[in-house]
């Protein structure tokens, strides 16, 4: 699945009902990766008109459950949503402005990192978040 696969195709392949709300959320996320639920609501509301925040939360939950959307929860930030799901990529997050960029994993397998002990777990994923300051913030004093 790529971020540009049509919403209708993704919904059909996942077995989810094709609705205007689901299509609008998936289509909006293509151009707005790492969006909060509030940002998704505002963008979809602008596109469709009337849609409740609860409807957006329901669509996001359904799409995360169907692995059409990935939810990331960076510490100290609201949950973010992106269409890039099902691969083994990581994120860089700016401590100042909150900008989030995707980072491809350098290893091909999943998980791309192995802990020193697995405590009997069968591991299938490693989530890595790199924190720092983005190029826009790097040359400016940190926000207080």
Which has the closest alpha carbon to 69: 59, 78, 89, 136?
59
pLDDT of residue 131: 94
Residue listed under structure tokens 């909060």: 36
The number of beta carbons lying within 10 Å of the beta carbon of residue 9 is 12
pLDDT of residue 73: 94
Please tell me the distance from the alpha carbon of residue 92 to that of residue 87, in angstroms, as a whole number: 16
Looking at the whole model, is its pTM more than 0.95? no
Contact 135/96 with Cβ under 8 angstroms? no
Please tell me the distance from the alpha carbon of residue 47 to that of residue 24, in angstroms, as a whole number: 8
Q: Which residue ranges form the domains of the chain, and what is each CATH number?
A: 7-80 (1.10.10.10), 87-138 (3.30.1490.190)
pLDDT tens over the chain, length 144 residues:
555 579 999 999 999 999 999 999 999 999 999 999 999 999 999 999 889 999 999 999 999 999 999 999 998 899 999 999 888 788 999 999 999 999 988 766 666 667 778 888 988 777 889 999 999 998 776 655
Contact 72/30 with Cβ under 8 angstroms? no
Please tell me the distance from the alpha carbon of residue 30 to that of residue 73, in angstroms, as a whole number: 19
């Amino acid at each position: 699945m790529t971020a540009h696969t049509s919403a209708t195709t993704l919904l059909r392949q996942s077995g989810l009902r094709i609705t205007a709300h689901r299509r609008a959320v998936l289509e909006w996320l293509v151009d707005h990766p790492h969006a909060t639920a509030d940002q998704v609501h505002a963008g979809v509301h602008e596109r469709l008109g009337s849609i409740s925040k609860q409807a957006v939360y329901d669509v996001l939950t359904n799409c995360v459950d169907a692995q059409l959307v990935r939810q990331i929860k960076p510490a100290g930030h609201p949950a973010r949503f992106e269409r890039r799901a099902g691969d083994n990529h990581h994120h860089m997050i700016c401590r100042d402005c909150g900008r989030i960029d995707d980072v491809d994993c350098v290893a091909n397998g999943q998980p791309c990192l192995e802990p020193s002990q697995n405590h009997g777990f069968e591991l299938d994923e490693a989530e890595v978040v790199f924190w720092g300051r983005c190029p826009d913030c790097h040359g400016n004093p940190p926000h207080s």
